[in-house]
Every structure is written in structure tokens, then in C-alpha cells.
Amino acid sequence: MALTHLRVVLLAAATLQLLFLSSTDAGEVGVCYGRDADNLIDPTRVVDLLKQNSITMVRIYDTDPTVLRALANSGIKVMVALSNKDLDSGIGRDQNSAQQWVNNNVVSYYNQGVLINGVTVGNEVFKQRSDLTGMLVPAMRYVQEVLKAANLADVIKVSTPVAFDALGVSFPPSAGQFRDDIPQSVLKQMIDFLRETGSYFSINLYPHADPSEHISLEYATFGINGGVFDEGSGVTYYSLFDAQLDAVYYAIDRVSRSSSSVSTSMAQQNGPIDTIVSESSLAGSGGRIPSHSMATLANNEADQLVPKEIAQAYNNGLVRRVLSGAPRDVSAYIFSLFNENLKAGPPMERNFGIFYPNGTKVYDVDFVHGGSTCRSKATWCVAKKGVENARLQAAIDYACNNGADCSAIQQGQACYQPNTLVAHASYAFNDYYQRKGQASGTCDFSGAASIVDRPSPS
Ligand SMILES: *[C@@H]1O[C@H](CO)[C@@H](O)[C@H](O)[C@H]1NC(C)=O
């Protein structure tokens, strides 16, 4: 009895060690190219737009011939989709239909120079089309078989994007687990499939989908914050994104460990599967942040339309985070390339774009420098403790008058809380420091500031 218990504990420890010793290579940033609109610039111009902005990866929601032909020989990687509608129509229900679809819609384009790197089978099936749950993993296997026969299984990975609400528990991250009403056997078969084929678990991560109360706007948008402590693991998280991502890893680990002993040892041998973020964005600019999710904002602030600066802060933060490769390696697709005027739902749904339909920027997302300033190590500039108020205020004034954008710490704005001189100083100092590319000497402010790897919990 005691021995069995010990063995379980050791296995769990080994798995956890694998979970947290993943490499810190940088990930890659892509953008979701949704086309639920009737006013978008045509695909050849879209490809130019992608190149001009150094966007190297896109995810599309179908296998549209015009789009794929435009992307041929562009050097841009493309994740294509076998949609829920395709699944429903019977594609992927047997090997023959899968073969026909994959050959016509994936292999033929790959052979024409389209850098297809993945096929998503269904999208958010558990959430959007739970009636298709039973056929999901078999369809993934059929698609995989065809790719294998075409010798493309190493370059084109099969996955299925899962909505974050598939997690019944996401806080604290170490308690992460999938909802009970999603068949655990399906999750297990899926995870086994992804592991066997060297693919990855795909999660659609929207911070506002997290009902946890431990969320400040800074924490949700990769800003400076005191961090959120996970008592279960002893880890402090400095972004909601990383907390959510770890919750997914813990949930996957729970499913893997609940499997038979044979599979458990296999999981141990092969390590945890990778996760990619197949969609992420804070909110569409001009949309609303649901008030329940930003508990630290006053109600009236939470009910306001999301200023585009906040969506911009999130997406630029996401680029920095992915390119830094820390605290764990992950690739992510920003949702979305364009505002899509035909999407249903509240206005926010039609305003996720980083570009207007005509190709003009809604706001800047820096896909290049977002990474170069902190590719090796993300550092922050914060106010030192114990500096007298007058010196701090003088330093804030200097930063704000010399390039730092201090609009967010004005009364009523996103980063006004906590309303302390030290918090405002840290915001202003860091904004100045990051805008100067973390150059040496740009985090001093007459000795009122210092550089840290991570802002410490306040
Ligand atoms: C593109 O669309 C935006 C938003 O409708 C508009 O403000 C802008 O002037 C347009 N740009 C061009 C070049 O037409």
C-alpha cells in the first residue's frame, strides 16, 4: 500500500518536473486570417500586407483556393482547416472521404508551394458543436493517415482548437482541469493522438473568458503587476496568459495521469505534449470587457467600451511574450487580422481586427521589435523603494515629458489604480525604458529607478 502510494507520488513528481523544465526557445507569432466579411482587400493584397508587417504565420478557417494560391511561394506558413461544417457534412467520417479532402485541399496546395504547417480538424467542437464530439478524434486520425501516406506527417500537424471554457477549473493554475461534461475518454484519445504524432494541443485563449477574480487589467495585458500566487505550486504568475496556459498543461496532465499505467509510462517517456495558442486576443477594440472578469476595475470602468489602446497593449504584450520564450516556449496566433463585418454577436465580435478591411492599421502591432528588445531576457524598470515623494514626482514628470506615454495613469484611465506615487512612477519609468529599447542608462531617473527581471509582488 505504502509502496504503491510512493510510486504514484514519484510518477507525479516526474511528470511535473517535465512540465516545468520545458525549453525556453522563442515561439512564433501568427495571425488568424478570418474572412467573415464582404469588404476585405483581396488575398494577394493581404499577402503583401502580411509581408510588410513581417507576419510569418497565418491561420485560416477553411482551404479557400484564392487565399491559398495567393499564399503560394510567399514564405508564409499557413494552418488550414477542416471546418465544423465539413465535419458535419461527412468529411472525415471515413478514410475515403478524408483522403479525397486532404489530397484536394491540403496536399495539392502544399505541392504548389503553400507552406501548410497544420490542419485543424473542427474548431471549438466541444463548445460549438458538441454533437460532433464522437467523430472528432477518428477524423483527426483519418486526416493524419492521409498526410502520412503523402510523406507530409512531419511537416503538417493535425490538431483541433479547443475553447478555453473546456476547462472547468482554471484557477489556481495548478488545479486546472477539464469540464466533467466533456467525455474524458475523448480528451484522453485526443491527447494520446497528439503525443503519438508529435502534434500539439491547440487552445483558444481569451483572457476575458476566465471567470477568475484574480485579474487586474495590468495582469491581463502583460503590464506591470504584483503577480498572482498559486498556492498549489508555489509559482507566481505575472500574466493571465501564462496562468491560463499552465492551467491547460495541468489539465492535460490530469487526463494523462488518469489513464492506464501503460499509457502513464509512455507519457513519462515522451514528456508532455506541446501546446499552441490557436487564437488569442483581449477583446475587440470598441467592444466591452465583461465586467465580471475585471474584478479590480470599478464597475463603471469595466462597462466602458474597450479602448483600442488596451487591445493594442494586449497584442503587443503577446508578441513580446511569445518572442521572449519565457517562462515557457509557446507559439500563438493573434485574433484577428481584420475587423469582420459579417460576424454575429455584440459589436466587439466585429472589431477584433488589427487592420481595417481596407488594410489600414487599427493600431500598431510591432511583430519585429516586440521581440528584439526582450528576446534574451525580459527586464522591467521600476521605482525603487524608499525614494521620497518629491524625487519620485520629479522623475515621473521627467519620464512623462520625455517620451513615456503616461495617459494610462491619468485619473479614470486603465492604469490609474493602484493610485500610488510608486505605482505611477513604475508605470512611467518602465514605459520610458521600453520605448528606449531598454538601452543602458534609460532606467535611472537620478537613482529613483532600478531594473528587475520581473516586477516583484507588492
Ligand atoms: C480605411 O478604413 C478606415 C476605417 O474605415 C478609414 O478610417 C481609412 O480612412 C481608410 N483608409 C483608406 C486609405 O481608405
CA gap 197, 433 in Å, rounded: 44
Tell me what pLDDT residue 416 has: 72
* Ligand 1 mutation target, pool 41, 351, 358, 361, most atoms within 8 A of CB: 358
What pLDDT shows up at residue 8?
A: 38
Supply φ then ψ for residue 88, to 5 degrees: -65, -35
Determine how many CB atoms are found less than 10 A away from the CB of residue 365: 21
**184-196 helix and 133-149 helix, angle to the nearest 10 degrees:** 10
* Chain mean position to CA 78: 17
Per-residue confidence (pLDDT) for residue 163, from 0 to 100: 96
Type and span of the H or E element at 228: strand 228-230
Q: Report the chain's terminal Cα–Cα distance, integer Å.
A: 45
Instruction: With a cut of 70, list the residues of the chain below it in pLDDT.
Output: 1-25, 209-214, 259-271, 284-306, 369-378, 412-414, 417, 454-458
pLDDT, mean over the chain: 84
Distance CA 92, CA 142 (A): 6
Q: Is 356 helix (H, G, I), strand (E, B) or coil?
A: coil
Q: Ligand 1 within 6 A of 24 CB?
A: no
* pLDDT on residue 456: 47
Is residue 356 lining ligand 1, measured as CB closer than 6 Å? yes
The beta-strand segments (E) located in 338-411 are: 380-383
The verdict on the CB of residue 360 being under 6 Å from ligand 1 is yes
Q: Is the CB of 39 under 6 A from ligand 1?
A: no
Q: 362 CA distance to ligand 1 centroid (A)?
A: 9
Residue given cell 525614494 in the structure block: 387
C-alpha dist (Å) from residue 87 to 109, 291, 439: 20, 35, 52
Per-residue pLDDT tens digits for 387-420: 888 889 999 999 998 888 888 788 766 677 678 8
According to the model, what pLDDT value does residue 34 have?
97
Query: What is the structure's pLDDT at 316?
Result: 94
Which residues are identified as catalytic? 124, 279
β-bridge partners, 163: 204
The Cα 70–Cα 35 span in angstroms is: 14
Ligand 1 center from residue 356 Cα (angstroms): 7
Ligand 1 pocket, residue 358 CB under 6 Å? yes
Matching residue, cell 505611477: 424
| pTM as predicted | 0.75
